[in-house]
Amino acid sequence: MPAISMTVNGEKVCGDVEGRTLLVDFIRGNLGKTGTHVGCDTSQCGACVVHVDGKAIKSCTALAVACDGATVNTVEGLATNGKLHPMQEAFREHHGLQCGFCTPGMIMAGIDIVKRKGKKLKEETIREELEGNICRCTGYHNIVKAIQAGAAKM
Amino acid sequence: MSDTGIGARMLRKEDHRFITGKGRYTDDINLPGQAVGYFLRSPHAHAEIKKIDIKKAEKAPGVLCVLTGEDAAADNIGGVICGWMIHSKDGSPMKAGPHPVLAQGKVRHVGDQVAVVVAHTMAQAKAAAEMINVTYKVLDANVDPVASQKRGTPQVHDVASKNTVFEWELGDKAATEAAFASAAHITSLDLVNNRLAPNAMEPRAAIGSYDEGEDHYTLYTTSQNPHVARLVISAFVGLAPEHKLRVIAPDVGGGFGSKIFIYAEEVVCLWASKRAGGVPVKWVADRSEAFLTDANGRDHVTKAELATDSNGRITGLRAKTIANMGAYLSTFASSVPTYLYATLLSGQYNIPAIYAEVDAVYTNTSPVDAYRGAGRPEATYVVERLMETAARELGMDPADFRAKNFVNSFPHQTPVIMCYDAGDYGASQKKAMEMIDYAGFEKRKAASARKGKLRGIGFSNYIEACGIAPSAAVGSLGAGVGLWESAEVRVNPVGTVEILTGSHSHGQGHETTFAQLVSDRLGIPADQVAIVHGDTDKVQFGMGTYGSRSGAVGMTAISKALDKIEAKAKKVAAHVMEASESDVEFKDGSFSVKGTDKKMAFGEVALSAYVAHKFPTSEIEPGLKEGAFHDPTNFTFPAGCHICELEVDADTGVTEIVDWVAVDDFGNVINPMIVEGQVHGGIAQGIGQALTEAVVYDEGGQLLTGSYMDYCMPRADNLPSFKLGFTKTECPSNPLGIKGCGEAGAIAAPAAVMNALTSALGVKDVPMPATPQNVWNAMAHLREAAE
Ligand code: FES
Ligand code: FES
């Protein structure tokens, strides 16, 4: 089994994985960080979105070995010194979550949208950019608001 | 109003753990030594099992055990049941075929579970499953519910001849026929209510764990009602008595009905743990498995007719529905197309005569049961599509036609069981029309036409019955359980409070709203209140969350228990303050003695109750803990008016919803922010039904929509932002005056979309989902006219 190492939420981690092990399974299984979720098996739902070397990816669609040496950030790594990231705070303030299952992926995707599109986001842009994230609970109404507000505060 | 009391837009207490990745869903839990369960499932829709050879698989690396239906029978593991008895017109009981936890002799739908492999790793389990050799004799499949009852259609269950589970009726047939015979006009529609996959984003999962030393089982499961799961697994499956089985439903990632039911996999994980020598067995559905095995929703084919007199008044309604139950009767399947459906066919209207017939049929498809709204969306779709169509045929404005026929005195007894207790349907419709600027529609339509777009507007004036439900009433209609709720209030000596509730939150925000109720009543901050739910070892019993019942029923139980807390605390306070009990008042969190400046905070009284120095314990027991069971006296009847405005691109058939107004009457509201969120989510699911979603099987019973590549979930860019408004008539049947809001959006939305779409296209019907292709086909007449 290949040994891999990466920096996850600022911490050096390593582990032995099979060649077929997915990044999400490494994060959830080996590292015990269960904030990153799995909602589908066709790379559609976005519950598994994490940042790898600064870019949002679907961790269900990347092999752990392919991320050897990478810097990975998950939802658990967003708050610093107990202070929530503005995007996390915005989801709470705007009721952008109900069951919470899609939420980590939504927050990680939201931050990535801001990185790519800037802090002033139009509703239409957010809706288009969320193409790869499914939420069954909220009807997206408050998620869109939360991302807009979170973006402005980032 | 305080920041945390009833009516406050308090932010959710549960959010912190979810936004920081610290939620604890079933798949996040790992027990020491845990193995995985993998289900070998049927690739055929309908086949006899001639032989299952597991020898090779049993010896495969890492395998702890391989179990089949034969093993289940040998261990006396019963099947899962349907808990609602429906009788046919002729008085005969419904025909429920057996539903073993692993197939015995026959498989009845693609995905039916045939065997389970328990192994150390998933890779090992899957590899071993490949080695199981099943010899099938493939049979013809029965897939189309409409053909299901015809002679020559393959039989799904021997007990149900012509695949008929029941032929049920409701209402006065003769009176309805008479109304139609003398009608000035009859409107008729053939409607298909498309089959949907609930798709909670968290797939179902279970961990079964058997403790040999105690002969005790623990089940972690994605359930909306852990106590009912325990009851069924104990009393019907017969796995273990209730005191030997603990069921825990931790954080659950959405349910929408699909996690009410007791599924075979949960039972098998428990049983397999025992068979594997006490090793915990975990199973997590992948999405493909969810599409094959989660109970679906809707799937009705209906012929509906509305009779009107020469003044535009409704004189009768009749409907004949075929309801697809799938291959097995799921836990509450039989109640959905009957008492949750036909009892709402009066809509918001005075309809003197109603008659409904429902044939429930088996097919070789996965089971169908309650999905958000359960029966009431189907009823609303029938009524509201009929209303809009009739208005058009009569040349009346649909709003006027509705207003003319509204029920406007209460209580109102409909001809189909329900007695509406309060409402103001005219007020909701008026407000919704103002909010969407109904008067300006023609102008907007003309503007759309200049851009080459067809614009339409459609109403849906839904009513639903929720706050489910008075126990004796549902018992008389066939329910196997009572539908009350329980609550326990534990006041700690320091004055903080724990609420144990039988309701279960899987997105609804109970940790917040229930705490608001307590904060309001006891005058303590909401952060001094903890809500405990979802564990049969902690909460004594409960009926769970579905049918928008946690507010009206669950919170009323809490409210009753709080009454008892207040009464006892008053007694304690009276002794401590040396006053007569009748002079003690409780307000804003403190007890005071009338006409004096004596005062005690709630927390001080709590402490006194536990210290027990200052009252006679022969009269008043120490401590401060009370419980209550609440059985509602009636359903609650949320109602409202949703208006959809949309544009169709005549060149592509693409429909875009450009405006949405929802005005709902939910009675009193505990937390408007949470209620709005519930409405948004419900509307999105309803729009999904109308425009994008459908479960489709091919003729051989293979599922064509087995992933998110093929089953089109509504995405953010399929939906608009929603404009919400509220009107209020208090619900008279519970002390909080609340009605329930969880399902309203999903109930109202499909008819609003389809009424708008048919108005845009000038056609009578478009099949749901109105995909660009279906819309394109429905526009053929426009293209012909243009040529
Ligand atoms: S789990 Fe990665 S996209 Fe669904
Ligand atoms: S909050 Fe439940 S899926 Fe998005």
**Euclidean distance between CA atoms B102 and B264, whole angstroms:** 7
Closest CA–CA distance from residue A70 to any residue of chain B (Å): 21
Residue B677 has its nearest CB partner, among A47, A103, A138, at A138
Rounded Cα distance between A74 and B278, Å, is: 35
User: Once rounded to an integer, what is the mean pLDDT over residues B123-150?
Assistant: 98
List C-alpha distances in Å: B585 to A60, B300, B544, B570: 60, 56, 35, 8
Task: Please indicate, yes or no, whether residues B391 and B499 belong to a single structural domain of this protein.
Answer: no
Please tell me whether residues A123 and A59 are part of one structural domain: no
Bridge partners, B247 (sequence order): B219
State if residue A40 touches ligand 1 by the CB under 6 angstroms criterion.
Answer: yes
Task: Check: CB of residue A28 under 8 Å from CB of residue A47.
Answer: no
Q: Nearest CA to CA, how far is A88 from chain B (Å)?
A: 6
Q: Are A68 and A10 contained in the same domain?
A: yes
State the CATH number of the domain containing residue A135: 1.10.150.120
Partner residue facing A128 (CB), from B678, B713, B717: B717
Q: Which two tokens stand for residue A32?
A: 């015990």
Beta strands in B249-375 (DSSP E): 281-284, 300-308, 314-326, 354-362
Chain A contact for B685 (CB, 8 A cutoff)? yes
- For residues A45 and A99, membership in a common domain is answered with no
> Tell me: the pLDDT tens digits for B179-206?
999 999 999 999 999 999 999 999 999 9
Q: Same structural domain for residues B620 and B645?
A: no
Determine, for residues A84 and B684 on separate chains, whether the beta-carbon distance falls below 8 Å: no
Tell whether the torsion through CA atoms of A134, A135, A140 and A146 is positive or negative.
Answer: negative
Nearest-CA distance from A126 to chain B in Å? Answer: 8
Q: Which amino acid is at B394?
A: L
Element (H, E) at A116: helix A103-117
- Tell me the DSSP string of B473-539: HHHHTTBSS---EEEEEEE-TTS-EEEEES---SSS-HHHHHHHHHHHHH---GGGEEEE-SBTTTS
- Let me know: does B558 contact B514? Beta carbons within 8 Å: yes
According to DSSP, the residues that pair with B640 across neighbouring strands are B664
Residue B474 covered by a domain: no
From A40, A75, A98, give the residue whose CB has the most ligand 2 atoms within 8 Å, as the site to mutate. A98
> In angstroms, rounded to a whole number, what is the distance separating the alpha carbons of residues B672 and B203?
29
**Residue B39 is assigned to a structural domain of this protein:** yes
Q: How close is the nearest chain B Cα to the Cα of A144, in Å?
A: 8
Query: Using CA of residue B224, residue B226, residue B231, residue B236, what is the dihedral sign?
Result: positive
Amino acid at B62: G
Q: How far is the alpha carbon of A92 from chain B, nearest alpha carbon, in Å?
A: 6
Residue A99 near ligand 2, beta carbon < 6 Å: yes
pLDDT tens digits along B406-453: 999 999 999 999 999 999 999 999 999 999 999 999 999 999 999 999
Residues B615 and B742 occupy one common structural domain: no
Do B329 and B459 fall into the same domain?
A: yes
B20 contact A CB<8A: yes
Question: Domain residues for A46?
Answer: 3-75
Inform me whether the pLDDT recorded for B396 exceeds 60.
yes
Instruction: Specify the pLDDT at position B472.
Output: 86
Chain A nearest C-alpha distance from B73 (Å) = 33
Do B352 and B500 sit in the same domain of this protein? no
Both A10 and A49 in a single domain? yes
Nearest Cα of chain B lies from the Cα of A65 at a distance, in angstroms, of 18
- Which ligand sits closest to the CA of B201? 2
Least-confidence region, from B383-387, B481-485, B522-526: B481-485
* The ligand 2 atom nearest the CA atom of B202: 3
Dist CA A5 CA A11 (whole Å): 10
Model pLDDT, residue B324: 98
B453-460 and B164-171 strand pairing: unpaired
Residue B479 included in any domain: no
What is the SS3 string spanning B774-785? Answer: HHHHHCHHHHHH
* Count of pairs with CB atoms under 8 A, one residue in A, one in B: 176
Nearest CA among B206, B208, B210 for reference residue B277: B210
Both B271 and B339 in a single domain? no
State the distance from the centre of ligand 1 to the C-alpha of B247, rounded, in angstroms: 28
> Are A75 and B709 in contact (CB < 8 Å)?
no
Check whether residue A14 and residue A61 sit in a common domain.
Answer: yes
* Interface residue B121 vs chain A (CB under 8 A): no
Residue B200 touches chain A, beta carbons under 8 Å: yes
- pTM for this predicted structure: 0.97
Query: CB neighbours of B78 closer than 8 A, spacing ≥ 6?
Result: B236, B237, B238
With the C-alpha atoms ordered A93, A98, A104, A110, is the resulting torsion angle positive or negative? negative
CA dist B684 and B720 (Å) reads 9
Indicate which atom in ligand 1 lies nearest the CA of residue A46: 3
Other beta carbons within 10 Å of B408? 13
- Whether B62 and chain A come into contact, CB under 8 Å, resolves to no
Nearest CA to ligand 2 atom 4: A135
Chain B residues 505-544 within an 8 A CB cutoff of chain A: 506-509
Report CA(B752)–ligand 2 centroid distance (Å): 24
Q: Is residue A80 part of a domain?
A: no
Residues B277 and B310 placed together within one structural domain of the fold: no
Which residues are CB-neighbours of B278 under 8 A, at least 6 positions away?
A: B209, B210, B211, B212
**What domain range includes position B273?**
31-139+201-254+259-293
Contact B434, B742 (CB under 8 A): no
Write down which residue in B591, B614, B630 finishes a domain. B630
- Report the C-alpha gap between A116 and A100 in whole angstroms: 25
B584 forms beta bridges with B593
Domain boundary (A28, A53, A75) is at: A75
Whether chain A has a CB inside 8 Å of the CB on B253: the answer is yes
Q: Is the CB of A44 under 6 A from ligand 1?
A: yes
Q: For B71-103, give one letter per residue: b (16+ CB within 10 A) or e.
A: bbeeeebbbbbbbbebebeeeeebbbbebbbbb
CB contact under 8 Å between A41 and B286, yes or no, is yes
Task: Clarify whether residues A71 and A43 are in a common domain.
Answer: yes
Peptide bond preceding B732 in cis form (omega within 30 of 0): no
Residue B322 amino acid letter: I
Residue A92 has its nearest CB partner, among B11, B252, B709, at B11
CATH of the domain at A43: 3.10.20.30
Is residue B776 included in any domain, yes or no?
yes
Distance (Å, whole) CA B413 – CA B343: 11
Enumerate residues 6+ apart whose C-beta is below 8 A from B110.
B41, B42, B43, B44, B45, B292, B366, B701, B702, B703
Please report the residues numbered 368 through 407 in chain B whose beta carbons come closer than 8 angstroms to any beta carbon of chain A: none
Instruction: Specify whether B671 is located in the same domain as B750.
Output: yes
As a whole number of angstroms, the distance between CA B95 and CA B162 comes to 11
Whether B786 shows a pLDDT value over 80: the answer reads no
B392 lies in some domain: yes
In DSSP terms, B185 is beta-bridged to B308
Residue contact B23–A136, C-beta within 8 A: no
The answer to whether the CB of A58 is under 6 A from ligand 1 is yes
- B408 three-state secondary structure: coil
> Is residue B559 within a helix (H) or strand (E), and if so which, with residue range?
helix B556-576
**Closest C-alpha residue for ligand 1 atom 3:** A43
- B385 close to B462: Cβ distance less than 8 angstroms: no
Query: Which residue, judged by its Cα, is nearest atom 1 of ligand 1?
Result: A38
Which ligand has its closest atom nearest to the C-alpha of A24?
1
A104 part of a folded domain? yes
Does the residue B754 lie in any domain?
yes
Query: Rounded distance, CA A40 to CA B57, Å?
Result: 28
Kindly state whether residue B460 falls inside one of the protein's structural domains: yes
What pLDDT is recorded for position B645?
Answer: 98
Interface membership of B713 toward A (CB under 8 Å)? yes
Q: How far is A128 from chain B (nearest CA, A)?
A: 5
Read off the pLDDT of residues B541-581 as tens digits, 9 standing for 90 and up.
988 888 889 888 899 999 999 999 999 999 999 999 999 99
How many domains, in total, are found in chain B? 3
Rounded distance from Cα A47 to ligand 2 centre (Å) = 9
Which two three-digit tokens encode residue B128?
């071993």
Report the CATH number at residue B638. 3.30.365.10
- Quote the number of domains for chain A: 2
Q: What is the per-residue pLDDT across B267-285, written as a single tens digit (0 to 9) for each?
A: 999 999 999 999 999 999 9
Q: Measured between beta carbons, which residues in chain A are less than 8 angstroms from residue B224?
A: none
Determine the Cα–Cα distance for residues B233 and B79; give it in Å rounded to an integer. 9
B171 in any annotated domain: no
Q: Are B406 and B425 in contact (CB under 8 A)?
A: yes
Is pLDDT larger for residue B57 or for residue B476? B57
Name the stretches of chain A with pLDDT < 50.
none
Query: Are B716 and A103 a contacting pair at CB < 8 A?
Result: no
User: Do B397 and B202 form a contact (C-beta atoms < 8 A)?
Assistant: no
Cβ distance B22 to A76 less than 8 Å, yes or no, reads yes
> Which of B203, B287, B681 comes nearest A98 by C-beta?
B681
Indicate whether B212 and B276 sit together in one domain.
yes
B32 touches chain A (CB under 8 A): no
Claim to verify: residue B625 and residue B638 sit in the same structural domain: no
Section B127-153 average pLDDT: 97
Q: Which two tokens stand for residue B665?
A: 């009457």
Q: Are residues B280 and B342 in the same domain?
A: no
Residue B762, by phi and psi: left (phi above 0), alpha (psi -120 to 50) or beta?
left
- Tell me the C-alpha distance between B120 and B35, whole Å: 5
Please give the biggest Cα pair distance in chain A.
47
CATH code at position B39: 3.90.1170.50
Q: Is B761 helix (H, G, I), strand (E, B) or coil?
A: helix
Q: Is any Cβ of chain A less than 8 angstroms from the Cβ of B682?
A: yes
**pLDDT tens digit string along B696-736?**
999 999 999 999 999 999 999 999 999 999 999 999 999 99
- Is B254 touching ligand 2 by the criterion CB < 6 Å? yes
**Mean pLDDT across chain B:** 96
Query: Which of chain B's residues have a Cβ under 8 Å away from the Cβ of A79?
Result: 20
A46 φ/ψ sector (left φ>0, alpha ψ -120 to 50, else beta) = left
Name the residue among B381, B431, B345, B24 with its Cα closest to residue B172: B345
Is the pLDDT reported for residue B81 higher than 60?
yes
Based on the domain organization, do B233 and B340 belong to the same domain?
A: no
Q: List CB contacts (< 8 A) between B721 and chain A.
A: 123, 141, 144
Kindly state whether B672 is in contact with chain A, defined as any CB-CB distance less than 8 angstroms: no
Task: For CA atoms B637, B638, B640, B644, give the dihedral sign.
Answer: negative
Model confidence at B498, pLDDT cuts 50, 70, 90, reads very high
Which of B21, B252, B509 faces A76 most closely, judged by CB atoms? B21
User: What is the percent of chain B where pLDDT is above 70?
Assistant: 100
A-chain CB neighbours of B28 within 8 Å are 28, 34
Percent of chain B with pLDDT over 90: 94
pLDDT 10s digits, B86-115: 999 999 999 999 999 999 999 999 999 999
What is the pLDDT at residue B1?
54
Q: Do A133 and B16 touch (CB under 8 A)?
A: no
Between CA B131 and CA B362 the distance in angstroms is 32
Of A54, A75, A96, which closes a domain? A75
CA distance B371 to B282: 26
**Smallest Cβ distance to B708: which of A40, A97, A126?**
A40
pLDDT at B296: 98
Give the pLDDT confidence score for residue B468 in this predicted structure. 86
According to DSSP, the residues that pair with A8 across neighbouring strands are: A11, A72
Q: Which of A22, A36, A40, A101 to mutate to test the pocket of ligand 1 (most atoms within 8 A of CB)?
A: A40
B354 at the A interface (CB within 8 A)?
A: no
In a domain, A81, yes or no: no
Helix, strand or coil for residue B649?
Answer: strand
- Over the stretch B446-469, which tens digit does the pLDDT of each residue have? 999 999 999 999 999 999 998 888
Q: What does the DSSP 8-state code read for residue B701?
A: S
Contacts of B642 (CB under 8 A, 6+ apart): B432, B459, B460, B461, B462, B660, B661, B662, B663, B683, B745, B748, B749, B752
- Given a cut of 80, whether residue B2 has pLDDT beyond it is no
